[in-house]
Amino acid sequence: MQPLLRDPATALADLRALHAHLLVSGHAADPHVQSGLVAMYAALGDAAAARAAFAEIPRPDVVAWNAMIAGYVHVGRSREALMLFDRMMREAGAAVVGEATLVSVLTACAQAGALDQGRWVHGFARGHGMRVSVTLGTALVDMYSKCGAVPAAMEVFDGMRDRNVYTWTSAISGLAMNGMGTECLDLFKRMESEGIQPNGVTFVAVLRGCSMAGLVDEGRACFDSIKGKHGVEPWLEHYGCMVDLYGRAGCLDDAINFIKTMPVEPHEGVWGALLNASRIHNNVELGKYAMEKLVAIESENDAAHVLLSNIYAESQDWKGVSRTRSMMKAKGVKKVPGWSAIEADGKVHEFYVGGKSHPRYKDIELMLAEMNRRLRLQGYAANTKEVLFDIEEEEKENAISLHSEKLALAFGLIVLPEGAEIRIVKNLRVCRDCHDYTKMISKVFNRGIVMRDRNRFHHFKEGVCSCRDYW
DNA sequence: ATAGGGTTAG
């Protein structure tokens, strides 16, 4: 779906005018026009208009269903996409479901981290004897990777007859986000040896893999090969990856030197990576510097403001914290709230910090108490360092004990059968305390726990995390 | 059609 080559607001206005014209001329009853409208509204990001256009269709044909499902995926509403697919199966029947539908549904599963539903789609494709085309296979690799099921992703990948650069990149990216840096580099080498030409996205994936696993030298070699071996000019994203790689590993001088010798003007991603490195390694001065550069380019970056505030709080500089907060208030910068989601009974349940709206909240509260009791017996003490605002210690413990991932974890322990893996998806990064907490839960409750945060996977088992506490 | 860098106090 090619977006119109204009600014979105103008394009949307044009589309509305066209829509009105179609209604007047009577063409709005044409099935092709109807699904076209759904697809175009979604492509321009207007989910409500797409839904309204879809609702106007008395008996949607397969193209209309697909357009609406793909539309939801396009605007990031994966749960609605999955619910609509359910409805499609009931109202239109399984017989009309084809590859195009499944690829969109798999993309929705990948977005939502809905492994059970993703597996179901895979089974459906197999059950209907569908050929694993490049597109369907890539969507499966992507879905399994983004659900943390690396072996399943690799099994699909290895079984594919045809693969293109999307397939390879998807698999490499999957290994990267699961912290398997060495495997990621190996697969990239295999790609090169098979003569598949990587592109810029592939290099982003490889560099990310190095960053996740702390493979500094390998990352540097890969970066140098972009131009040296492949004759491609590195993108700004690749520079950002390098600063992240150096910075995360604690090589702050290397990160700074790298920025200084960049042949192009650093963009906000570069400064953002440096800001984050400053936070990880408690460097207030560098953090202030990175923030200055960042806000000069992107003055309303909410995450950056919170990062800076956290850097101040880490060094007990409450004046710096309140300065940052008033700056945000003055600019109208608002933090996106954190949430955690968990799939159970074929549905995705969402939790917010301290949220009490879940129908089973009472049970969750009881389970949390039980979890805390058993963890304390094992010597767990809340790590309140990351509750970075100036309140009493007891309040900090309360704040941290209700982080959304802990609520999701408690819910998972209640509803998922003994021995079943608990999989949680988070929109932000997991905090240090929740990470330690989850490690202990995996041991004390003897549960495999898979947590996808906004950047990568954490596979918890028997008190250990696959990230080896490096993130 | 299918892959994509850094980051989020209550």
Asked if residue A272 keeps its beta carbon closer than 7 A to nucleic acid strand B, the reply is yes
Residue A160, domain member (yes or no) = no
pLDDT-above-70 percentage for chain A: 95
Q: What is the pLDDT of residue A243?
A: 97
Q: What is the pLDDT of residue A263?
A: 94
Domain that holds residue A367: 339-465
Q: Which residue has the tokens 């890539």?
A: A138
Using pLDDT thresholds of 50, 70 and 90, give the confidence band for residue A314. confident
Asked if residue A78 keeps its beta carbon closer than 7 A to nucleic acid strand B, the reply is no
Domain total in chain A: 1
Of A415, A410, A406, which Cα lies nearest the Cα of A435? A406
Q: Which residue's C-alpha is at the least distance from the C1' of B6?
A: A273
Residue A452 in 3-state DSSP? strand
Mean pLDDT over each residue of chain A, to the nearest integer: 91
C1' of B10 to CA of A224 (Å): 44
Asked if residue A322 keeps its beta carbon closer than 7 A to nucleic acid strand B, the reply is no
Residue A388, domain member (yes or no) = yes
Q: What is the pLDDT of residue A18?
A: 87
Asked if residue A268 keeps its beta carbon closer than 7 A to nucleic acid strand B, the reply is yes
Q: Which residue's C-alpha is at the least distance from the C1' of B2?
A: A135
| Residue positions counted in chain A | 471
C1' of B10 to CA of A326 (Å): 15
Lowest mean pLDDT of A301-315, A363-377, A382-396, A457-471, name the range: A382-396
Q: What is the pLDDT of residue A1?
A: 38
Asked if residue A270 keeps its beta carbon closer than 7 A to nucleic acid strand B, the reply is yes
CB A121 within 8 A of CB A149: no
Residues A299-318 have a mean pLDDT of: 92
Q: What is the pLDDT of residue A393?
A: 61
Main-chain dihedrals φ then ψ at residue A168, nearest 5 degrees: -60, -45
Residue A12, domain member (yes or no) = no
Residues A112-139 have a mean pLDDT of: 95
C1' of B3 to CA of A142 (Å): 8
The C-alpha atoms of residue A26 and residue A128 are separated, in whole angstroms, by 39
pLDDT in tens, A421-466: 999 999 999 988 899 999 999 999 999 999 999 999 999 999 999 9
Nearest nt (C1') from A336 Cα? B8
Main-chain dihedrals φ then ψ at residue A217, nearest 5 degrees: -65, -40
Residue A95, domain member (yes or no) = no
Comparison of pLDDT for A298 and A395, the residue scoring more: A298
Lowest mean pLDDT of A1-10, A52-61, A122-131, A294-303, name the range: A1-10
Nucleotides of B under 7 A from a protein CB: 1-10
pLDDT in tens, A2-18: 444 567 778 888 888 88
Q: What is the pLDDT of residue A3?
A: 44
pLDDT-above-90 percentage for chain A: 77
The C-alpha atoms of residue A456 and residue A244 are separated, in whole angstroms, by 14
CB A87 within 8 A of CB A60: no
Which residues of A in 118-147 have their CB below 7 Å from strand B's atoms? 133-135, 138-139, 142, 146
Asked if residue A310 keeps its beta carbon closer than 7 A to nucleic acid strand B, the reply is yes
Residue A79, domain member (yes or no) = no
Residue A428, domain member (yes or no) = yes
Handedness of CA A350, A356, A362, A364 (dihedral sign): positive
Say whether pLDDT at A139 is over 50.
yes
Residues A381-392 have a mean pLDDT of: 62
Say whether pLDDT at A390 is over 70.
no
Residue A339 in 3-state DSSP? strand
Asked if residue A184 keeps its beta carbon closer than 7 A to nucleic acid strand B, the reply is no
C1' of B5 to CA of A260 (Å): 18
Residue A56 in 3-state DSSP? coil
Asked if residue A340 keeps its beta carbon closer than 7 A to nucleic acid strand B, the reply is no
Q: What is the pLDDT of residue A14?
A: 85
Q: Which residue's C-alpha is at the least distance from the C1' of B7?
A: A303
Handedness of CA A220, A225, A227, A228 (dihedral sign): positive
Asked if residue A232 keeps its beta carbon closer than 7 A to nucleic acid strand B, the reply is no
The C-alpha atoms of residue A203 and residue A223 are separated, in whole angstroms, by 8
Burial (CB < 10 A; 0-12, 13-18, 19+), residue A124, is: middle
Q: What is the pLDDT of residue A348?
A: 82
pLDDT in tens, A238-278: 999 999 999 999 999 999 999 999 999 999 999 999 999 99
The C-alpha atoms of residue A86 and residue A124 are separated, in whole angstroms, by 13
The amino acid present at A364, given as its one-letter code, is I
Q: What is the pLDDT of residue A4?
A: 45
Residue A346, domain member (yes or no) = yes
C1' of B5 to CA of A282 (Å): 22
Residue A381, domain member (yes or no) = yes
C1' of B10 to CA of A168 (Å): 42
Q: What is the pLDDT of residue A343?
A: 85
